[in-house]
Structures are given as structure tokens and as C-alpha cells.
Amino acid sequence: MSETEEILRIASKGDGVTASGRFAWGAAPGDLLREDGTLEWGPHHVEPPCRHFGRCGGCQLQQLDEESLAAFVEARVANASVSQELGAETITPPHLSPPMSRRRVSLRAESSGGRIVVGFREARSHRLVELEECHVMAPELAALLAPLRKLLITMGKGAAKPKKGGKQGRRAEKGGAMPRMAADIEMTLVEQGVDLGVKGLATEGLAATEAMLDFARDHGLARLTMDGGYGHEVVWEPEPVTVKLGEVSVPFPPGSFLQATLDGEETLVGAAKEWLAGMPTVADLFSGLGTFAFALAGPDTKVLAAEAARDAHLACKAAADRSQQPVFAVHRDLFRNPLQADELGKFAAVLLDPPRAGAREQVDCIAESSVGRVVYISCNPSSWSRDAARLIEAGFRLGELRPVGQFRWSTHVELASLFVRD
């Protein structure tokens, strides 16, 4: 083995790979991997902007420059196409979301050493990294990290139920101990501001309630919800919380799915609108709140929006009724009860945006139908390639692939794809 080997590419989990198959974490294409496992930086290796990189599991690729990061996203999608011999006619240059553009984040909060830690898990560990900065999430969300820790201290003490006479109980009663606490934190940018949800923590007492209300008011929250195990409880919501989808304000139930970045959403929606322009009827499957349905609907296009999550379905239906858009919301579990071939035959085109597992059952029905055009949005190139192979087998061709890197500096890649039946 030579003393040094060049890193040729970045593997799917973020490690650099040499021609001989050696792996190196934190490498970039063009780096030299020494025999002792250390790296000599090459032309595509940059200084990671975040002090937490290397410990925080939220990012794996901050060492890549823009060119090599784009190449990684494109390769992930292209490889998924090649693996099933799908033969994409066009793969467009990838779209990368810029730093500090994530509008939806899920964090973990835990008590540790008498204090509260809020952050992401360490890479390959259950330990938390206390975030002092974050170059991924939107500034409005990052600004809440420090004050949120203070709030959780008060809420954590309010949630404590110390046993009388016990050592921990006596310390808690004196206010000298932080009881064990763990909670999941969800923050989302909505039209009214920041929607903050705390799950896994139940609070009691006037002090904790007043602290939550003061926090929500002082920081201009759009909404504050708590879930102690019995569902979301709204603590603060001065006006109904909504998100703008297309030109429609749609109710946003607590914990609902939203594309991670606004620019990523616009890229995916833009592809769908371009590919489905002029289609008189579209079936939007796994439609969620209506991200694609409201963008596609118009004077010449009617959209059926099918979704299994009841809250999302009702929000979509309410927005469609209020806006008078030709969006017809249907509550339907497409895994257990997919639209059948004869039902799909009533539509000129289908758009589907399934969860990470893909949509095997629904794709089988599409393959057996007379639908001539399918737009498939995916957050998992692996399950997408399996479903895409089924469509190709049924006589479709893969016309275009558009890679999207919404989750900047992570190995998570999304795509938009167009299938046309000749």
C-alpha cells in the first residue's frame, strides 16, 4: 500500500473513499489519506464554519466546498437511477439550500450535570451536543436556543414530583437540584412567527405556566404547545397559525410536516408545475397539507388531494373551501387502500410524495392504470429507485431527474422526477 492515497469520492454515509476502498471521515475529494489515517487537505476541502462540526450529528459534510457538495448530491441521485438501469434522459444540476435556511428543526433537550442541554445527538452516539451556534437553522430559530434553556429549567422543576423524605426530593424542595428531564423540541417558521412544540414534558404549578406565557409573549411566538403524553395542548396562540402554500394560507396543526426550507419547497413545486402544466386533472397522493395541490390547482386544473393524516387532511380541506381553489381533499390511507387503476384512470396525471419507505402498493396501481404522466417526489433515493423500476417495467420512461439538497451539509438527499408513458 502506498504511503498516501487520494480521496476520489464521498460515499453515501459521508465518508471519503480511495481507489483501494479505504474510508476516511471528514475527507473531501482530492484530499490525500496518509498511511496513519490522517488527511492532507486538497483543493475541495474547506474549514467547517461551525464549531460543533465533528461532534454534532446534524451535519456530516461541512468540509466540502460548494462544488464537491453539489457533486455529492447529484451523485446520490444519479447512482440510484443507474442502480436500477432506469436511464434518466436528463439529470439537472442540483439545487442546494443556502446556510441558515432551515425553517423546521427537531431538537432534543435533556438534563445533564445539573443543567439543561438542548441540541442534536452526537454522531453515532446518544449524547447531546449543546448548541452554541448552528449554521443550518434559520436565525429566528437559533435565537431561541439560549432563552429556551432557561425556560426548560423552570418547566423541568415544575414537572418534578419528588418523593417526600428522599434525598433527591429534599434537594428539589430546596431548589438546589435539577430533576431528570427529557423532551423533544420542534420549531417551525410559520406565517405568524415561530411555532414551538415541547413533547415529553408535563408541567404543574403557577410558576411554570407563567414562565411559558411570559416566554411566548416576550419572544413573539406564533404558538406554544405542550405534549405530556396525551396529545398537543395549546398554551399560547394569539391567532390561528398558518403556512403559505402557493397563494393559500393553510392551517398548520401542531407537529405537521413542512418542507425543510422554503427554497427547497419552491424548487420541488417548480418542477411539478413545469412538468404538469396543462394537465386538466391531477391526483396528488400523500398530499399532506397541500404543498403541491395548491400550487397546481387553477382555472384549468382540478386536483384531488389524498392524505392519511387526519389533521393534515382537515387543514387542506378547510383551506380549499375557504380559498375556493379546485382542490378536493380526501382522507385515505394510501398504504392500506391505494387508489386503484380504474380510479387513477380518471386523471391525466399523478403526483406522489410518499414517506421514506416509498409507495410500493400505490405504484403497483399506477403501473396498472392508464395514467400517462407521473411526477414522483422522494426523500429517499433508495426506495424511489425501487418504485421507479416498477414504473419503467410498466412502460414509463424516466424523462428528467432534479436532485435537491435541502438538508445542507447532511447526507440526506431529495429529488423530483418525471415519468412519461410513451
> What pLDDT shows up at residue 169?
41
Digitized pLDDT (tens) for each residue of the chain, 422 residues in all: 458 999 999 999 999 999 999 999 999 999 999 999 999 999 999 999 999 999 999 999 999 999 999 999 999 999 988 877 777 778 999 999 999 999 999 999 998 777 889 999 988 788 899 999 999 999 999 999 999 998 888 776 655 444 444 444 434 444 455 567 889 999 999 999 999 999 988 777 787 888 899 999 999 999 999 998 888 899 999 999 999 998 999 999 999 999 999 999 999 999 999 999 999 999 999 999 999 999 999 999 999 999 999 999 999 999 999 999 999 999 999 999 999 999 999 999 999 999 999 999 999 999 999 999 999 999 999 999 999 999 999 999 999 999 999 999 999 999 999 999 98
Task: State whether 81 and 110 are in the same domain.
Answer: no
Containing domain of residue 346, as a range? Answer: 77-97+258-420
CB 420 within 8 A of CB 399: yes
> What pLDDT shows up at residue 172?
42
The number of distinct structural domains making up the chain is 2
Task: State whether 88 and 144 are in the same domain.
Answer: no
349 belongs to a structural domain: yes
Task: State whether 112 and 91 are in the same domain.
Answer: no
192 belongs to a structural domain: yes
C-alpha cell at 298: 387553477
151 belongs to a structural domain: yes
Task: State whether 268 and 415 are in the same domain.
Answer: yes
Residue 379 is among the residues annotated as catalytic for this protein: yes
> What pLDDT shows up at residue 165?
43
> What pLDDT shows up at residue 85?
73
Q: What is the pTM of this model?
A: 0.91
193 belongs to a structural domain: yes
25 belongs to a structural domain: no
Is 353 annotated to bind a ligand? Reply is yes
Task: State whether 224 and 320 are in the same domain.
Answer: no
Beta bridge mates, 261: 102
Which of 215, 242, 269 terminates a domain? The answer is: 242
Q: Which residue, 249, 289, 271, 306, is CA-closest to 378? A: 271
Task: State whether 286 and 349 are in the same domain.
Answer: yes
CB 345 within 8 A of CB 366: no
Which of 242, 274, 294 terminates a domain? The answer is: 242
Question: What CATH number has the domain bearing residue 219?
Answer: 2.40.50.1070
Question: What CATH number has the domain bearing residue 380?
Answer: 3.40.50.150
Task: State whether 389 and 263 are in the same domain.
Answer: yes
> What pLDDT shows up at residue 161?
45
Which of 242, 267, 293 terminates a domain? The answer is: 242
Is 342 annotated to bind a ligand? Reply is no
323 belongs to a structural domain: yes
CA distances from 250 to 87, 213, 294, 372 (A): 38, 25, 10, 30
Report the amino acid identity of residue 64: L
The Cα 307–Cα 79 span in angstroms is 30
Is 237 annotated to bind a ligand? Reply is no
Is 63 annotated to bind a ligand? Reply is no
Task: State whether 134 and 83 are in the same domain.
Answer: no
> What pLDDT shows up at residue 174?
46
313 belongs to a structural domain: yes
15 belongs to a structural domain: no
Task: State whether 136 and 273 are in the same domain.
Answer: no
> Which distant-in-sequence residues (6+ apart) come within 8 Å of 193 by Cβ?
140, 220, 221, 222
Task: State whether 190 and 300 are in the same domain.
Answer: no
Task: State whether 84 and 140 are in the same domain.
Answer: no
Task: State whether 406 and 302 are in the same domain.
Answer: yes
